[in-house]
Structures are given as C-alpha cells and as structure tokens.
Structure 1
Amino acid sequence: MTMTNKFFTSLIVALLLCLGGMSVKAQMSPTASKDIYDWTPYEDVKMLNLFYDVLKQGRNYPTQEEIRNAFGFDMEFSRSHVRPKAVMYNQAKQVNPAINPKRKIWMNIPGGIGKGNGGYPSALFNNDVYSMWQYTHLFGSWNHGFFQAPGSWADAAHKHGTDIFSGIKFFESWTPGSGDATYAALISEKEGDKYKYAEPLINILMYMGLDGINYNWEDNSYSNADVIAFHKELYRIAKEKGFNNFHIGIYTQISGLTDTNKESLYYGHDPSDKTMDLMLNYSAGNFAWSSTATSLAAAKSVNPDNLSVYQGVWIVTMDRSWTSMNTDARKEMNLCLWGEHGQSRFMSYNNGTDAFNIQENYQKLLERGFSGGNRNPAKLPTLANTNNNWELSGTKEPLSSFGGLAYFVAERPTVQGKLPFYTNFQLGNGERYNYKGKKTFGNWYNMGAQDYQPTYRWLVYEANTKTVSTAIQPGYTHRDAYTGGSTLELKGNATTTGTDIVLYRTDLEISAANPKVTVAVKSYKEGTNPT
C-alpha cells in the first residue's frame, strides 16, 4: 500500500482503505466499568485441577459457572478470540531480499506495565502499546504467570502472525522457595500410564487462546526423565488436537547447545517430537556469540529445516555484539531479546514531557529499535556495537544511530484474503475515544482494539522510485483521531515530484471492477494548531 503526497505541509491520515463499514457506539454505556480487575487469582495449579476435573467428566472445558465458582469472576474477559494469522513469506519482496526469511526474533519481554495485571484493559491511557509485531515471531509475556497473559495482547499478536506465551514460571536453585522440586513432582504425576496434567494444560491454553508456556528454569529438574516425557507429551497432545502453534519456551543457565545437552534442552529427536524454543543464556549480558556455531550445528542435527534455538541478549544496554551476530557463520541463528521483569526496557527507558509526548516517544523508540535509527528499514544506520544510547544524550535522540533489528530479520506481513480491509491506525489506547472525529469518552487502554500495524515503519521514497526520502516524516500521534485514540500523522514539506509512503504489503482479493478506497484526511494550515 502506497500513499503519495504532493500538496500538504502536514497531514493526519485518520482512516486508510476504509472499504467496509464499522459500527461503534457513540457514547459509553452507563453500565461500563472503569475498574481494573485482579486476574491473578487463577493461579496455575488451581487452573490445572479445574480442567482435570472436567476432563474426568468427559469435557475439555469448564462452564462459565464452574469458572466463576472456582475463581470468582468471568474469565471470558481474559481470553483471546483472534486466531493467529498466517505470515506471507516472499523473500523477493522483502525490503532487504538478502535476509533469510526463516530467521526469527523472540521478544522475551513483559507485556504491559506491572506484574500480574499488567497489560489488561483499563482506563490508563499512558500505557504499553507494543506495536512492532511485524518483526516478532514470539512474545514472552515475562510479567505474567502461566495462563495469565491478557487475551487482548494475544489478539494484537495474533493479527500479526505472532505467537504469544501465556506467561512464565521461574525456578532459581539459589533462592529459597524458588526451587523446581514441587513443580517437577506435580507434572510427573501419573494416572496409569498417562501424565495427569498434560491434557488439562493443553486444554487451558486452547480455551484461553494463548500459545504456550515459558520457563526461566535456573534449577536442574528440566533434565529429569519424567519432566522431559511430560513436555514431549504436551507436544503430542497439541499436535493431535490441531494446536499447531503450541510452544514451550525455556531459558536456563546454559549458553550453548551441544550434542550432550540437546536431548534435555531441545527435544525433537523422535518423529512426533517438536523442538523447544530455546533461549541460550547470555554472557555478561551480551550474546554468547563464540558458541553460536556449535549451537547451530547441534540444532541442525535435530532438525535442519526449522531452527528454534535463539541466542539470548540482555537489553539493559543496546551496546552489544550485534556485528558478531550478523556474520555469515551466525546469520542462521535466531535472536532472543530479554529485559525486564515488570515492564520492558523500551518502556522503562522511555520518557517525555507529558502523556502524549511519552506515547509518541515510545513508538519512535520501538521504530528505531526495529527499523533502525532513521525509522526507515530502507535506510538503516551502519550496524555498530557501541554508541547505541537508550536515552537522550545531549541532542542525540535515543537509538538514533542504532542499526536496527531489521538488519537481522525481515518484515512479516499478514494482511491477506477478502476485502474489506480497514485501519484507523489504532494502537490500543487513547486520551479519548473518538468516533468519526468526535469524542465519545475519555482515557482508555485495550490492546485488543489495536489495528493491523503497517508492514513498514516507515518506508518513505521519492515518488515512483526506490530513493529514500526524508521530505515527509510519518509517525503516530494520540493528539487527534478519527476513530479510536490514535492516528497516523505526516509532517514535512511538499515536493514538486511527490513522496511515496509505503505502508502495507498485502495480498487482498479484489474482485470488483471498481474497488473503492476511502481515506479520511485532516489538514492543518501552516501556523495553526489542532484543537
């Protein structure tokens, strides 16, 4: 999808390709609640036992009444109802066709702000609206326990072909009360020759619409025979039920995969096995790049066609060995970015003068992290291991010289199928909710309302060329919106030849002789401000 601008000094495009109607109530219901519900009561063992009990009765899922009796609330509001979209892989159409389309990024970071309840819909506008799904294969949900990740986040992830973990379990051998013995004993329980909680666990994930379980396993029981067999049984049951995007993520103290440890860390050795998604530990926070070649060889010996091993890095700083991970010998290794427990480093390092500015800066920080410091994947700064500042340094904007994760992975578009396709450029939050340009109610946050994000953030060319242009600068703003709480803002100068802004790569079925494209535009005259 390409937009050409020849006339406007500053544009706000509020609705692009509105090829179908959209129904939104013009005012908030008098019964609508602004309370933030506490979703933490449904802890994992209680969930497993509930789903085990109903399975014994011949059912996969409990009733709403059974859930309310067990947990005291309606779990429907924390489920995802969006099935994962298929990613369109076409190496020839990538911004950089030289990138291996099979290379993946796992963002092993929190979703939302705060543990447990972070990321759930609320009336808090100034919140985490992660939006770079188009480069993200896996999302870690690091701030939630098993089965607790918000369904609204899963909705946003699934629209973009991203699989999202339901949450994480922590085991640390050196921390009192954080060992793995109790959990290992639980999942090792059998009834006859079957693991008691294997099918209930898969049923929970399928009911919640979440894609797997994630481990920070810094204890030793992951190599126990029963623990391994239990997780292999999860893969078998998921495959049997058609749950093909089920994942088990694991991070341990080990920074390299070898022929010695691959059977306990990676799996995939039997015909019915699927490999673990393995985050290799970092070395002093940095990529343990010296072991990458050995790890790749071990992973390829299991399955050379689908690698699910990831070299890990702690993004407390972005001054890491990026160039080492971009050599020919390591270009097949996937990357896993970790940081941190309660909110992601993209959130914690971000700041601004007010809520509007904070949100604008957050999106720009994400864009520089993925699309490079120029916020254009066609014009990446030179990849470097230093001078990648997270925060404002004098007049140097955060990550403005960072090469970008687009050096390593290609964009992953998902917009395909039948018309209509529409977007209001919603991020999933707002200081207000507008409908057709008019305010209907105030502060809101719901990642489930996030629209399909542009494939490219931002691909700007001189008109009808592949020459990068800086005449127009696209970006998100919450200061105005047509429908929702945010919109696409275009700032810059008109040129005599025009500017192309390429937003989406799509594969849409257009059967009508005269397909209709509707764009809502608000233009401000120079020297005036929006109200």
Structure 2
Amino acid sequence: MRRRLLPLLCAALTTVAVLSTPVLSTAVQATPTPAAAATAPPATATRAPEPVAASTVRAGGDGGQPYASFWYPDTILGWDPATDPDARFNRSRVPLRPRASLPALKANPHARAGEGRVASLVSFAPTSGNPSQGSPSADYYAFTYWQYVDTLVFWGGSAGEGLILAPNATVIDAAHRNGVRVYGTVFFPPTAYGGKIEWVRDFVRKSGGAYPVADKLVEVARHYGFDGWFINQETAGGDAALATELRELITYARGRGPVEFMWYDAMTESGSVTWQDGLTPANDAFLNDPHRVSDSMFLDFGWTAAGQHASRDLARSLGRDEHELFAGIDTEANGYATGVPWEAVFPSGQPHVTSLGIYRPEWTWKSSSGPADFRARDSRFWVGANADPSDTTTSSPWKGLAHYVAESTPITAKPFVTGFNTGHGDFYNVRGVRVRDGGWNNLSMQDVPPTYRWVVESAGSRLTPSIDYGDAYEGGSSLRLTGRLDAVNTVRLYQARLPVSAGTRLSVVLKTPQAGPTRLQAAVAFADAPHTFTTFDLGATGGTGWERRTLDLSAHAGRTIAQLGLRVTGTADAYDIRVGQLAVHDAGWTPSPRRPG
C-alpha cells in the first residue's frame, strides 16, 4: 500500500486541534511522538466534536488575536463578514498583479518560460492558528521565491478544527504583489482521520437550483480578495451521484465567480477514492465534463514518466493545456533530498510535459535550526546548491526549481519601490529610524524580492550580495554587498518591464561604514538591448547614515526598462555597502513607509 501524506497531515493537525481546544472533548489521549503521528490515527475524544464557526475557536485560547477563517460545510452558511469580528483583518486589497517573463533574460539556460508552472501547497500554521495580520515573532515561513511560483495553496483543514480554510490577508498581499494566485483549501479527510461522508453531502446540498456552500465559497473569495479553492476529497463512502454533484457544484461556483478551482486526484467519477497518479478516463470528468469543470488538477505522488505523457495526451484530447496538470511531489519529510523523476516532467532540452505541484515546501523552515539556516535551505530548494540560479551545476539530483522554470516579474508599472524587506525581522525601521525592537512577521509588508538571487558577473572575485537583517531603511532588512573587490562586479537584481517617460527617475538609498567613495553605480538595461547595462554613478557618501540619490532617466524616454541592477568598480580589500531602497518613479512621487494592503 502506498503511503499517502496528504491525509497524514490531517492526523497531526487534528491532534493539535484536540489538545489546544479542550472545549471540543472531554478526554484526550497523550500527544503521540512524530513517528507515531505518522502511522496512527489522531487522538480521539469520548464524543465527536461539534462543528464550530471560525470565530469560536482561537489557538491557545487568545480571544483578542484575529485569525484566518475556517469552517465546516454547515457553519460557513452562517458566515457574514458584517458580523465576523475577524473579517476586516483577513481582507486583502492588493490586486493580482500581471507578470512578464522575457525568455532572453532567464537566469538559467536550461529553464523554459511559458510552459510548466509551479503550484506550492504551504501549511503556514495549524488550521485554527493562522494570524490574520502577522505576529510578534521573526520565526515564520517568510517565503521570497515567488518568481518561480504560479499558484500558492494555503494548505490546511482537519476534522477537529474545520474543513474549509481561507487564506489570511498577509499571504494574499505578498502573493498578489508578486503576481501569484492564492487558493484556500477544502479538505475532506479519510475516515481513518475523522472524515465523514455526511460532510461531503452537506457540501453539495442544493437549495432549489443553487448550491449554498458554493455561493459562500465565492463570497468568501471575493470579500477576502483571493483567487480560488483547492478541493481535496478523500473521504470514502461516496458514489457516482455524489461525484457528479461535486463536479456540478464546481461548475456552478465558477459560473458565479470569478473563482478558480484545483481538483486533487483522489475521488474518481465512480465516487470511490482511488488515486490515479495522473489524468485518466476515471477522473478526467473533474477537468472537463464535457466542458471546463476545474481549472487545474493536482496529480498524486505516484506518477511515472509514461503516466505523465499519457496525462498530457489526454488533456490535449480534451482541448486542455497540459500545463494545467500539476504532477505532485511530497517534500514535507525530506525537502531537497526527496527523490523526484525530474525528466518525466521537465525533460532536458524538450518542452515541459506537465507542471509541478510541490506539497509542503515549508520543510525549509520547519526543518531548520534557525533563521539563517532556513534562508540557506530555502535558497538551495529554489535556486540550487550554488545560491546562483544561473549556475545549478551540482552532483545532487536536486538542482533547484530555477534549473527548470524561468523567472517571472511583477514589475510592470510605476512606481516600483523596494526596501528589500522580506516581511519578517528582529526590529522595524522607518526611514532608517528604529521604531520597534523585537521579532515580528507580516508578509503584507514584504517588498518584491530580487528576481535573481544571486547572479553576479565579474572577471575577478565576486562580491557577495545578501539580504541583511542587521540594518534597514524600511522594515527589518536591506541589501548588502560585501567581499574583496578586485574587478568590476555587475549584480543583476530585477527583471522588469517599466516604460520610461520624460519624468522618470531612479532613486537609490544607500549607506556606507564610513564617509567616502561608494564605488557603486546603478545599472539599467533596456528592452531594446536587454543584456547591456547603462550605468549611473552614485558618488560618495558624506557620512555613515542613509543617503538618497535621485537619477534622471529622461534621456531614455520612450524606452522600456528590462533589468535593474548594481555595478561596483575600483578596488577594496573589504568592500561593504548597504542599499536600503531602490525605486523607479515619475516626477512628483514622494517616498513614504509601506502600509499593509
């Protein structure tokens, strides 16, 4: 029997829910060890928990902290944003930004643009424990490799907390700012982990010609500002009629949208839970029946090369894009040590067969020994062992996602402003002034991270770029360049598509350890010559504080910025400089601190 880790998550989360919300039970078993949790059902109560509304349960009993919304099928029917005290804190007002990807500017020669995509299924916290607006701790999965991701699924749901989980505003804000879609989760767990087929029937129950739960799913997505739902139906006991109702509910909801759906390869058209590990005649009606049902499908983990090719061919025969199929890989336990038949999905030198679905990439955070280790693991996971997306050469089978998927950029409109704030830190600065000490996280405050981390071109020693958490102009971090300088260094930072007008300016805020020449130039490449940088000297500093330089780009009016970077010239045994802000804007723009949303 193949091991299924999607349902096993339910076991761990249900245990957490029972232990942290004693109101739901009168007797609780001892907490299992991690090994036991992976093989045994969750702790059970002497009676089944009563379904509770999102506003009823608070992780740790903290009634003042707002949390992301979660429900059962019957409790979501009573949800009203006007009466939910947490609703206003969960609402994102950052629209999904358009993205661009110029194939000529991809970092890695093996990567392909406009083909296979990446869906990332992330559990930021237990279902009932996702703060709406961050928390006073730097210990958080502050994800920054959005340029390789198409869709983020806010993963969760459990029998003991709630089956339907909406994403919180901070994740929606950060994802949308980077052009990434966000889905909530609907999770019907296996019966071994508390699943009840009655919950599925409640989900599809009709009122006249309407599906009331579907209407609520659409309302929640619209009100909170996210893009769709991931449907994971793994509860046994269904039949063909129930499977048909689920397809009709999805079609109905999409018609009431705009709202998207990703279907998980578990329940088949017969109603049985039988993982296909691909798109097959047993489950293809959840994609098309005969018209579009789901927008995409997550294929379970046991797929093969032959199965992926068959899935591609079947998708094409249905008139669907094969890249709407996401071949699942499970990285929860082993991260970048996970064995993946990469050639079956992303064959070398050939078009991508399907897309990739990554289950639980936050392994990089949960397995780490601390913040620095998390960032190193996340870098290796996404751009490879060399921390350079242009060089993924390694003896490891895991080359990083940058080896296969070309970067996308959301930088398509002015003003573009970044303070290199990653959305967490150990202090908070505003215009270089410390306004708060202590850890924090809030992804709503995250800036668009650099597209290329890190690509440095030099004929000599290469400087080391880093996100530095020791100083900041805005937020809790800044860009830092350090190392031996013995030749010209060009640091590629951002891919962009920004039109230049007569009023366009480039602004840089920088800081040096002592007054004197910075040896630093702003570097801009234009779409008509995307690999050729035009440089603008940033001069010398007059002290050791933050200083702003504003450069006039009017001589390039009518052109389009394709890359933003930095160039360092001269020599220094121990070069060190921080960049606290980089902005492209038109005349009249006034620098101001970022506000959430």
Normalising by structure 1, we get a TM-score of 0.75
Structure 1 residue 365 and structure 2 residue 377: aligned?
A: yes
Q: 2:449 & 2:63 partners in 1: Cα distance?
A: 28
Q: Which has the higher contact order (CA 8 A, sep 6+)?
A: 1
State the match for 2:512 in structure 1.
Answer: 523
Q: CA deviation at 1:489?
A: 1.8
How far apart are 1:41 and its partner, in Å? 6.9
1:85–1:161 CA contact under 8 A, matched in 2:
yes
1:529 positional shift: 10
Deviation at 1:449, TM superposition (A): 0.6
Partner of 1:160: 178
| 1:247 partnered with 2:261 | yes
Q: For the residues of structure 1 that align with 2:496 and 2:330, how far apart are their CA atoms?
A: 34
Specify which structure has the higher proportion of strand.
2
Residue 280 (structure 2) pairs with residue 267 (structure 1)? no
Partners of 2:239 and 2:99 in 1: CA distance:
34
The one-letter code of the counterpart of 1:178 is G
Residue 142 to residue 42, structure 1, CA distance change in 2 (3 Å): closer
Residue 86 of structure 2 is aligned with which of 74, 85, 106?
74
The alpha-carbon deviation at position 321 of structure 1 amounts to 3.0
Kindly indicate whether the alpha-carbon contact (under 8 Å) linking 1:125 and 1:431 is maintained by their aligned counterparts in 2. Answer: yes
Structure 1 equivalent of residue 67 of structure 2: 39
User: In structure 2, how many angstroms separate the alpha carbons of the residues matched to 1:431 and 1:208?
Assistant: 29
Give the conservation status (yes or no) of the 8 Å contact 1:292–1:333: yes
Q: How far does residue 516 in structure 1 lie from its aligned partner after superposition?
A: 2.2
CA deviation string 1:444-491 (max 9, x = no partner): 2111111111111112113xxxx8x76112121211111101111222
- Quick check: 1:288–1:312 contact (8 Å CA) kept in 2? no
Listed as ranges, the matches of 1:240-389 within 5 Å are: 240-241=256-257, 243=258, 246-252=260-266, 254-264=275-285, 266-271=286-291, 273-283=292-302, 288-305=304-321, 307-315=323-331, 316-317=333-334, 318-325=337-344, 326-327=346-347, 331-339=352-360, 344-351=362-369, 358-382=370-394, 384-385=396-397
Partner of 2:490: 500
Q: Given that residues 322 and 384 in structure 1 are in contact (C-alpha distance below 8 angstroms), is that contact kept between their aligned partners in structure 2?
A: no
Does the CA-based 8 Å contact 1:433-1:484 persist in structure 2? yes
Give the counterpart of 1:151 among 149, 169, 192.
Answer: 169
Amino acid in structure 1 at the alignment position of 2:496: T
Task: Give the Å deviation of 1:152.
Answer: 0.6
Is the contact between residue 473 and residue 492 of structure 1 (CA under 8 Å) also seen in structure 2? yes
Confirm or deny: 8 A CA contact 1:430 1:478 kept in the other structure: yes
Query: In 2 relative to 1, CA 278–473 (structure 1 residues): closer, same or farther, beyond 3 Å?
Result: same
Deviation at 1:116, TM superposition (A): 2.6
User: What is the aligned partner in structure 2 of residue 219 from structure 1?
Assistant: 235
Match of 2:433 among 427, 434, 438: 438
Tell me the residue number matched to 2:149: 136
Report the Cα distance in structure 2 between the residues aligned to 1:163 and 1:430, rounded to whole angstroms.
25
Deviation at 1:411, TM superposition (A): 0.9
Shift of the alpha carbon at 1:227?
4.1
Partner of 1:393: none
Contact 2:432/2:473 (CA < 8 Å) preserved in 1? yes
3-state SS, counterpart of residue 431 of structure 1 = strand
Q: Secondary structure at the match of 2:473?
A: coil
Cα root mean square deviation, aligned: 3.0
**Which moved further from structure 2: 312-321 or 423-432?**
312-321
Contact 2:156 2:165 in 1 (8 A): no
Indicate the SS of the match to 1:254.
coil
Q: Which has the larger radius of gyration?
A: 2
- The size of the alignment, in residue pairs, is 439
Q: Which of 500, 506, 522 is matched with 1:510 structurally?
A: 500
Question: Residues of 2 paired with 1:37 and 1:104: CA distance?
Answer: 36
Is the CA contact 1:115–1:143 (under 8 Å) kept in the aligned structure 2? yes
- Call closer, same or farther: CA 1:118–1:240 in 2, change over 3 Å: closer
Letter in 2 for 1:439: R
Report the TM-score when normalising by structure 2. 0.67
Distance 2:509 2:574 in 1: 22
C-alpha distance in structure 1 between counterparts of 2:113 and 2:226, whole Å: 27
| Residues 218 and 256 in structure 2, CA contact (< 8 A), matched pair in contact too | no
Deviation sequence 1:349-398 (CA, Å, 0-9, x none):
211xxxxxx3233223222211111111111124743xxxxxxxxxxxxx
Shift of 1:422: 0.8
What's the CA shift string for 1:313-360, capped at 9, x where partnerless?
A: 1112224134433326782221112137xxx21112211xxxxxx323
Secondary structure at 1:451's aligned position in 2? Answer: coil
Deviations 1:123-162 (CA, angstroms, capped at 9, x unpaired): 1122220111111112122235524321111110111111
Do the aligned partners of 2:428 and 2:436 also contact (CA within 8 Å) in 1? yes
Which of the residues 420, 423, 442 maps onto 1:425? 420
Distance, in Å, in 1 between the alignment partners of 2:280 and 2:69 is: 41
- Asked if the contact 1:312/1:335 (under 8 Å) is kept, the reply is yes
**Aligned residues: percent identity?**
20
CA contact (8 A) 1:383 1:404 kept: no
- Offset of residue 523 of structure 1: 2.1
Which structure 1 residue ranges, 5 or more long, are not aligned?
A: 1-33, 52-61, 68-72, 352-357, 386-401
